[in-house]
Chains A and B, each alone.
Chain A
Amino acid sequence: GAVVSQHPSRVICKSGTSVKIECRSLDFQATTMFWYRQFPKQSLMLMATSNEGSKATYEQGVEKDKFLINHASLTLSTLTVTSAHPEDSSFYICSARVPDRSTNEKLFFGSGTQLSVL
């Protein structure tokens, strides 16, 4: 099946710094990518939908100035956590949708990034 590569898998940073997470579709072109976050013992929550060449659509309650999403090409979307604080520590995971009209089974997920802000 299709492969989505997410990097890094784990990052530790100091409070106030920015962290960039990359999500690449390796063998297909993804016009749409999704970013999720998960707190311990909670559900994966959709943060935003990233569309190639246009602005991301953020879910209610997600700060777009804090979580910058760039989808500049059909194979790469990035999530930048700006001025990270300890409360941003979480597990972030991306998924990419194969650009056809099939069902949700055409979503492919990255392996996730565990962010720890000290």
Chain B
Amino acid sequence: GDSVTQMEGPVTLSEEAFLTINCTYTATGYPSLFWYVQYPGEGLQLLLKATKADDKGSNKGFEATYRKETTSFHLEKGSVQVSDSAVYFCALGSGGYQKVTFGTGTKLQVIP
């Protein structure tokens, strides 16, 4: 079945550091790929998405590229801020909008 593997956290970075959170997936067919973010005390929010190979999703300075050859969708940001501290979930969607499979989440803490 479908699965998502993302790097374990927590990840602690200094402000303005470069961020990479690795994510790889296993799926049949051609899934859509997502990054969700959960800020403390809030629900998950869609951060960015990509629907086909080589697509790059981007939002709020974060980027991720759908790499079919390596089955990866790594999240990157060039310069993190304290306000980026949150839990980040990599996910894939298959069967239209019926099912979303999540990774375990990676907690990011950015210190001033």
State the A residues within 8 Å of B (CB): 1, 4, 6, 9, 34, 36, 38, 41-46, 49, 93, 95, 97, 102-112
Contacts and interface: CB of A to CB of B under 8 A. Distances in A.
Interface of B: 4, 8, 32, 34, 36, 38, 41-46, 49, 51, 89, 93, 97-105
Contacts of A103: 32, 49, 51, 93, 97
A110 B43 contact: yes
A43 B101 contact: yes
B104 A107 contact: no
A91 to B, nearest CB: 10
Residue of B41, B89, B98 most packed against chain A (CB within 10 A): B98
A103 B41 CA distance: 26
Residue of A44, A109, A111 most packed against chain B (CB within 10 A): A44
Contacts of B89: 44
B32 to A, nearest CB: 6
A109 B93 contact: no
Given A43-B103, A103-B49, A104-B93, 17 more contacts: A1-B45, A4-B43, A36-B102, A38-B105, A43-B4, A43-B101, A43-B102, A44-B105, A46-B101, A49-B98, A103-B93, A104-B49, A104-B100, A109-B38, A109-B44, A111-B43, A112-B43
Task: Give the secondary structure class of B's interface.
Answer: strand
Contacts, number: 59
A1 B16 CA distance: 28
A41 B100 contact: no
Contacts of A46: 99-101
Given A42-B104, A43-B104, A97-B97, A105 B44 contact: no
Contacts of A107: 46, 97, 100
A97 B41 CA distance: 21
Contacts of A97: 97
B2 to A, nearest CB: 11
Nearest to A106: B97
